[in-house]
Structure 1
Amino acid sequence: MRYLLFLFLVLFLSSCQDIPSKYKTPEGKKILEKYKKQYVKGVVLIDQKLRNKIPEGDKFLIISVRKPDQARPIAVLRVKNPEFPYRFKITGKHKINPEEFIEGDLILMARLSKEATAGFKKGDLYGVAQAKAGEENVKIVIKDIFEGSGK
């Protein structure tokens, strides 16, 4: 028992190490700040006029995050059979490319579809919102129906 207690104390104390010195510099602090704000948090709502258009059976909520000047997303969250309102938090673990940062101005798109695949299909419900990295009260209202051919 003493051995386990000793082992626990050693592990606990070693896990409470100070941050590396390279992150104590002004440039290092900027990098840490970027990492800390690599998220966006909020809620997805369905407009009342589309309540009867929610797909029956299995459905997927796909929330994508992109920068305003880019077409492809930097992060994606997929949820099977969500309940609305759906609260979300997209973090660095949702990034497509680990080298990119979730930073600055962002555009979030929530899409409700029968398929979990990328890209819109005819009849998908969607909504768009603007946000900033680190924002915690983003509201995405799904209020439109995709009418394209899906080809």
Structure 2
Amino acid sequence: MLSSDRRHILKLLAALPLAGCGFAPVYGTEGTGRTLRGRIAYRAPATPEGFRLRTRLEDRLGRVEQGDYLLTVQMSIGESALAISSAQSITRFNLPGTATWVLSEPGNDTPLAQGTASTFTAYSAAGTTIATREAQDDARDRLAIALADLIVTDIIIASAG
């Protein structure tokens, strides 16, 4: 009985700092994430990575053809050797990626928010040609998803302020 009471008190004490700091859930009923959902149209590059980025943005913020806002994203993905074997063959590649985004109202060039998201991923090139190609495609997909998640976080932060 005593340990049950102790756990209840510890939970209350853990939540106490959040109560006074103005913390509000982003996806709560009045949260910024909910108010933006289904209101943003997207313009992304016409590449496989751009398609994957747009799909992730739609998963996180909703899908609309014509929204109250327009999110325009430009992506750049590099590739560099990360590991070289003693036989001088590349066994691992690094894919750094950057996405520059602008959130505006359709027909208005003045940005409501803008930013740049950067991250990286890597893949192994030690297998067969087909395995290496699949690993590269998978790494590019993971990179696009990570960039989309960073963009969503930045938009939510910008709209909450």
Hey, which of these two has a bigger chunk of strand by percent?
A: 1
TM-score under structure 2 length normalisation: 0.30
What is the TM-score with the length of structure 1 in the denominator?
0.31
Which has the bigger relative contact order, CA under 8 A and spacing at least 6?
A: 1
Structure with higher helix content: 2
